[in-house]
Amino acid sequence: MAASKKLMSVRRDWRERDVRVVLSALIIAVATVATIALFASQLQRTLVTSASSFLAADRQLEAENGREVPESWMQEAESRGLETARMVEFSTMVYGADNFQLVSVKAVNDTYPLRGEVEVQQGATAPRELVSSGPAPGEVWINPRLLRLLNLDVGDSLDVGSLSLTISGLLVREPDGGFRMSSLAPRVMMHASDVPATGVIQEGSRVEYVYLFAGDEDVLNSYHAWLEPRFGPSHEWEGVRDGETFSESLQRAERFLLLGGSLAVMLAAVAVAVASRQYALSQRDTVALLKTLGVNSRGIGTLYLRRLGLWGIVGAIGGLLVALPLFWLLSSVLSDVLERPVDYQLDPNALVPALLTALVSLFAFAYPPIRRLKHVPAMRVLRSQPGESGREAIPDMAIAIVAIFGLVWMYAREVSLVLALLGGLALLLGTLALLGWALVTTLRKISGGGNAWRLALVGLYRHRRASLSQIAVFAMTLMLAATLILVRTSLLDDWQAQLPDDAPNHFLINIAPDSVDQVEDFWAERGQPLRQLYPMVRGRLTELNGNPVREAVSKDERVNALNRELNLTWMDTLPSDNDIIEGQWFEPGQRRGVSIEAELAGKLGVEVGDSLGFTIGSDKVTETVTSIRTVQWDSMKPNFYMAFPPQGGLEDMPATWITAFYLPEDQKSALNEFSRQFPTVSVLEIDHIIERIQEIVQQVTQAIEAILALILAAALVVMAAVVSATMQERQREGALLRTLGGRQTLLVRSTMLEFALLGFFAGILGVIAAEAAVWALQFRMFEGEFRVHWQAILPIPVLSALVLAIFGRWQLKPVLSVSPMLLLRRLE
């Protein structure tokens, strides 16, 4: 009975326009936040799965010492409920149709791969297929290039050691076809159970055993914790987040989603605040009447508090009802892009921020003006009392700002984000105050004249308080939307710049110093000149300031770079995508010193002036750090932790040369000729990896666009809410102006102009504030370079002027379509 009474009262409330706006804003708030949170967690899972497939698992354990790990390690993993797979990689000669070739073998067991798929072809022209297993025992899959090198065909047999296997497919892409120095020769994939019969692996062979694990994140972490004390120096644990290629792109996408979510929260809060203030103003007469009927202040307080609670429930339920189909829609877009079914998972944790948003929006933004209703004097019934002066709204604003940033903080957990938005907002309000002052002083003098421009300016001046608060809200909305658009654009540009269409997709490694010129000539003749070759010396970092480096680095900071040989190089010019953050790059002619990569320097605690000792073969080289530089690991170019000056410490060391270059698909046959002419040079084909990365960037882009569209829709609703908040007054004014003899065209023109001016000012303010916020964000969060977005500075104010003019025209419609007499009666 009580419930139905309450429902009745929501239904009655719904008839009031302002309540409809408050409820709509709440529903939009909850829906946007819930959709983004749900989708973000889905996207997160999908991205991690995609990235995991780069390891063919969630984690990999590599044993580089040629020995298998104790069987108890695997038993432990399985007893913890983790999925496992094993593989072994080694280099060997294969023999087929009278030709020999050095290949890199990967032997996998039945459970491989745990994540991702293997892409194979049944013949050179057959369609590509995705399968989730390796070859069966007795069969072998080989790199298509090997087919041509050995003059073989699918169905022929290939001898690996003393075992003859049947070629049953061409290996186009392996899910873990990562960037590994050991896999330079063409790939051959076989079943692990066939390995002993080949007789290739002997005591002391160069073999790498790799163990794959997949399962629950917590279990993986606890397993790693169990395993870590048992590791030897040659054991390496790799997770998705350690993958240098991907982590940055992933983090940026995640941050963008968080930013989007935070802005959605802010937009929703603005809408709720505006609508509920309007509602409170419209309720003053009702409250005064209730008071004369004997309801005391306390009763009034309880009445409106209950009403708010009810709205909260309706908003939350309504919002979730809107969010779920949207989420499904977005997820199915995602699954189309990925060309694989997405397993829908409703993450209940993702709903918490949505519900909290509803609660905070109601109590921080809607409650304060409504709470003051109980102070409305009963005298108001008899005599109209001065309304709110706006001074009461100042504490409201303070509460609202604290609450907004509380929400953003809860949502993004990112101080710099909160600060950037706060800074943008402060700038906005400051400029607004200036604009308000300018408006009052310059427009005061304008009066008289029946032309639309003057009427519009007079209108702006007369409604100065409403005008300024509308400009504030529009500008805030525009700032949030523009921030998002600008960040999105520069994010996508960054990615595009890192992986342009002609990004290097092949590496040439192991070029002997005396064949460098011939290799360069070979490719220059074929129209694919090599851009830059780097010398490469393999060595280990062993000493830091004269102490063994393992002692110098604290035990809990495991540094991968210390576990393996590093590629050292020398160069005279700094690569364009590297930046010196400390010290000085080598002067021309300088021979001493070393430049270290920034992240490694951070982990080791190395600063400019420290000395580093390297062991290269049997030699030792000691150099002083002269600079620290950042490196774009995801640039797909050769990158080095350590760079020496030319003729420096590395001069007499045995070096080979390395380069990366772009080779179009249709010229791949040149690689066969190259391999024949330079048999000792290794060719590393990473074109399929690049293809995959470009695919993922595209997915993330699509997701970002979808969320952007959602937020822009929310922004439009906020604008509509604010414009329609003054609808009644404007309609009344329009009717009166018509009665007093204002012509329709004049009314239409001046109203549209007035709104266009509002939109233009708001647009300018919004863009300035957005630029400030983007500057801060770019600087702190996305590590990109900031530049002023001139291309956005004009279109946004113009566009917002246009949109608002249309809103204004639309709002005037009821005023123009009926006779002024009817309107006057209705408004009385």
Partner 1 sequence: MSDLSESYSQNDRPMLKVTNLTHRVSLETDTLTILQGVNLEINRGESVAIVGRSGSGKTTLLGLLAGLDTPSDGQVELDGSVISQLSEDERAKLRSRRVGFVFQSFQLLPALTALENVMLPLELSGSEKPDAKARELLERVGLGERLSHTPRQLSGGEQQRVAIARAFASEPVVLFADEPTGNLDNRTGSEVSDLLMTLNREQGTTLVMVTHDERLAARCGRQFSIEAGVLSEPSSATAQEAVN
In the complex, the residues that contact partner 1 under the rule CB under 8 A are: 384-387, 447-451, 454-455, 458, 462-463, 466, 729, 732-733, 736-746, 819-822, 824-825, 828
Task: Identify which of residues 626 and 750 has a Cβ nearer to partner 1 in the complex.
Answer: 750
β-pair type (619-630, 642-644): unpaired
Closest to partner 1 by CB, 241 vs 375, is 375
CB of residue 443 vs partner 1: minimum separation in angstroms?
A: 13
In this structure, are strands 594-597 and 619-630 parallel, antiparallel, or unpaired?
parallel
Residue 720 is which amino acid? A
542/686 Cα distance (integer angstroms):
31
We find the least distance from the C-beta atom of residue 448 to partner 1, in angstroms, to be 4
CB of 465 to partner 1, least distance (A): 8
- What φ, ψ does residue 9 adopt, rounded to 5°? -75, -30
Q: Which is nearer to partner 1, 554 or 745 (CB)?
A: 745
Q: Is 208 exposed, middle or buried (0-12, 13-18, 19+ CB in 10 A)?
A: buried
Q: Quick one: 339 exposed, middle or buried, by C-beta within 10 A (0-12, 13-18, 19+)?
A: exposed
Nearest approach in angstroms of CB 763 to partner 1 is 24
Instruction: Please give the biggest Cα pair distance in the chain.
Output: 110
Cβ 738 to partner 1, closest distance in Å?
Answer: 6
Q: Which is nearer to partner 1, 689 or 737 (CB)?
A: 737
Cβ-contact 486, 769 below 8 angstroms = no
Using the minimum distance from each CB to partner 1, give the nearer residue, 459 or 763: 459
DSSP 204: T
**Residue 782 C-beta: closest distance to partner 1, Å:** 45
Least Å from the CB of residue 733 to partner 1: 6
Pick 289 or 466: Cβ nearer partner 1: 466
- Among all chains, which residue has been given the structure tokens 């070759």? 533
Q: How many residues does the chain have?
A: 828
For residue 467, the minimal CB distance to partner 1 (Å) is: 10
Distance from chain centroid for Cα 195: 43
Which CB atom, from 125 or from 817, has the smaller least distance to partner 1?
Answer: 817
Which CB atom, from 255 or from 463, has the smaller least distance to partner 1?
463
Residue 742 token pair: 């204002």
Q: Is the Cβ–Cβ distance between 657 and 536 less than 8 Å? A: yes
Sign of CA dihedral 346, 352, 357, 363: positive
Minimum gap (Å) between residue 751 Cβ and partner 1: 13
How far apart are CB 369 and partner 1 at their closest, in Å?
19
Residue type, 301: G
Amino acid at 202: Q
Instruction: Give 316 or 757: the residue with its C-beta nearer to partner 1.
Output: 757
Angle CA 575–579–581, to nearest 5: 145
Kindly tell me which of 447 and 680 has the beta carbon lying closer to partner 1.
447
Q: Which of 258, 265, 250 is nearest to 412 (CA)?
A: 258
The nearest distance, CB 477 to partner 1, in angstroms, is: 23
CA 89, CA 77: separation in Å to the nearest integer?
A: 22
Tokens describing residue 700: 């993330």
Give the number of other CB atoms < 10 A from CB of residue 725: 23
Nearer to partner 1 (CB atom), residue 199 or residue 449 = 449
Residue 237 CB: number of other CB atoms within 10 A?
A: 19
Q: How far is the CB of 828 from partner 1 (least distance, A)?
A: 5
Rg (CA), the chain: 34
The smaller minimum CB distance to partner 1, of residues 128 and 825, is found at: 825
Structure tokens at 738: 């018509």
Is the previous residue joined to 348 through a cis bond, with omega within 30 degrees of 0?
A: no
Distances (CA, A) of 80 to 215, 217, 241: 9, 12, 22
Q: Are 658 and 534 in contact (CB under 8 A)?
A: yes
Q: Is 449 left (phi over 0), alpha (psi -120 to 50) or beta?
A: left
C-beta of 473: minimal distance to partner 1 in Å? 18
**Strand 642-644 relative to strand 594-597, pairing:** antiparallel
SS3 579: strand
CB of 315 to partner 1, least distance (A): 31
Token digits for 275? 């609508």
Q: What does the alpha-carbon distance between residue 779 and residue 815 come to, in Å, rounded to a whole number?
A: 50
Separation between Cα atoms, residue 559 and residue 243, nearest integer Å: 14
- Nearest approach in angstroms of CB 821 to partner 1 is 4
Of the pair 149, 452, the CB lying nearest partner 1 is at 452
**407 closest CA partner among 444, 355, 481, 442:** 355
Closer Cβ to partner 1, 233 or 450, answer by number: 450
- For residues 261 and 459, which CB has a smaller minimum distance to partner 1 in the complex? 459
H-only helix segments in 542-669 = 549-552, 560-563, 598-604
